[in-house]
Amino acid sequence: MKMTIGDQNNSINYTPSRGVVLVVDDNPANLQVLSSFLDQSSFEVWAARSGEKALQRLENDDLPDLILLDVMMPGIDGFETCKQLKSNPRVQDIPVIFMTALSETADKVKGLQLGAVDYITKPFQHEEVLVRIENHLKLRNLTKTLSAKNAELQQTQTQLIQAEKVAALGQLTAGIAHEVNNPINFIAGNLNFVEQYVHEVVNLLYLYQKYLPEPPDEIQTAIQKSDLNFLLNDLSKIIQSMQVGTDRVTEIVSYLNNFSRHREDGKKLANLHEGLESTLLILGHRFKQNAHHPAIQLIKEYGDLPLIECFAGEINQVFMNLFCNAIDAIEEIYKNKYLGTDYQYHGVIKIKTEVIGEQVILRIADNGSGIKKAEKRKIFDAFYTTKPVGKGTGLGLSIAYQIVVNNHHGKLTYHSQPGEGIEFILELPIR
């Protein structure tokens, strides 16, 4: 930036920089002319005498807003320098304007195909250079603004979809739990009376046998035909089995109610293991063997976790998304490697929980196909998916990230190697 110092009042006045321009030219005279002119026009100027020097300069944290790049240079020429710039995701968005004395259309087309945005011909016309730089900086700023607004809109859309999915799933599970709860309570309550009544009837039959040991032939025939002793013994076992079944359904209803806890006013203390179990219950059918794959093995290593302050319904949604991703990855391998009854691969999902300091750590790992290097930086982006069309929306991991990071001030990271599966690490503050 330009700076002037007032001698009388000892004040310092700054002229804000209009942007940073990197000038790459092997000719010192050209560098001097451009640097002086751009400096007078309130641009901050960086200079590089070769393509190699320019690429080294761009390895620093600070980056220019625009690059003026000479075409004809010894070593790496301007075309090759531009090619390497555009292959680097970190700097590929910086606009490049070629400076050249070449007037052939083929040379200009080649530069534009490599990613340059414009050409400036030598000898330079200062006004032309200034206008072209200003126009492309405006375009870049507009692009940045649009990208930021687009990201903001995508985040808002993701949050709305997340809230709708959590609410819809919560209402669905709550409705199912309510509808199942009433009849199962009726059955469970009446089973006690049935057991009592059957017990009294059995005692009455035994009294008949005791005091009337020689009943008529018709009754004896009926007793032998129905195997009365077996019926009496088995009836008691059936009632006990029904009692176990109703207890299990009651437990399932409790899990459904736990899962359906939607976002309340303020965070509540919650047991994360209950959330995990309720989510696994809902997804239980996907772990079982079917016509397409054998059972998926589930390994649990639960630590001693305290209750944590969270939106329980949202955290359950995170668990649901992570488990669904893991199961999908394993099913995709089975789909590609299914060999009749001779399985060369067995799907495994492992859950581990522990406390480290003031953080609760949950790890959910699978032995699916893992993530390719090119996909790693996009994995939490909204609407990004590697699944086939119609299989995934690209919102699961994005929603999980929003819930953990934005709503709970936690962390959601992962470790993955292609072909070796992926492990998601969920960190949540206890308070």
Q: What are the DSSP calls for 2-66, one per residue?
A: EEEE-TTT--EEEE----EEEEE-S-HHHHHHHHHHHHHTT-EEEEESSHHHHHHHTTSS---SE
Q: Which two tokens stand for residue 340?
A: 């009749």
Rg from Cα positions in the chain:
36
Taking the CA atoms of residue 326, residue 329, residue 331 and residue 337 in that order, the dihedral angle to the nearest 10 degrees is -140
For the chain, count helices (H), then strands (E).
Answer: 11, 14
Residue by residue, pLDDT tens for the chain (431 residues) are: 343 334 444 444 445 567 889 999 988 888 888 888 888 888 888 999 899 999 988 888 788 999 999 888 888 888 899 999 988 888 888 999 988 876 667 777 888 888 888 888 877 788 888 888 888 888 888 888 888 888 777 767 666 666 666 666 666 666 777 777 778 888 888 888 888 888 888 888 888 878 888 888 888 888 777 777 788 778 888 888 888 888 878 777 776 766 665 445 578 888 999 889 888 888 888 888 887 778 899 999 999 999 998 888 888 888 988 998 899 888 888 776 654 444 577 889 999 999 998 999 999 999 988 876 655 556 766 555 555 544 544 566 878 888 888 888 899 998 887 778 899 999 999 87
pLDDT at 272: 92
Q: Alpha helices, DSSP H only, in 68-125?
A: 78-86, 105-113
Pairwise CA distance, residues 311 & 277, whole Å: 17
**329: enclosing H helix or E strand:** helix 312-337
Half-sphere exposure of 117 (CA within 13 A, CB side): 19
pLDDT at 396: 67
Pairwise CA distance, residues 154 & 382, whole Å: 7
Pairwise CA distance, residues 398 & 404, whole Å: 10
pLDDT at 390: 47
pLDDT at 338: 53
Q: Which two tokens stand for residue 189?
A: 């309550």
pLDDT at 1: 39
CA angle 95/385/417 to nearest 5° reads 90
Q: Is 45 left (phi over 0), alpha (psi -120 to 50) or beta?
A: beta
For residue range 210-240, list pLDDT tens digits in order: 888 888 888 888 877 777 778 877 888 888 8
Residue-averaged pLDDT of the chain: 80
| Long-range pairs, 379-384, Cβ under 8 A, ≥24 | 379/414, 380/412, 382/154, 382/155, 382/157, 382/158, 383/154
Q: Report the SS3 class of residue 298.
A: strand
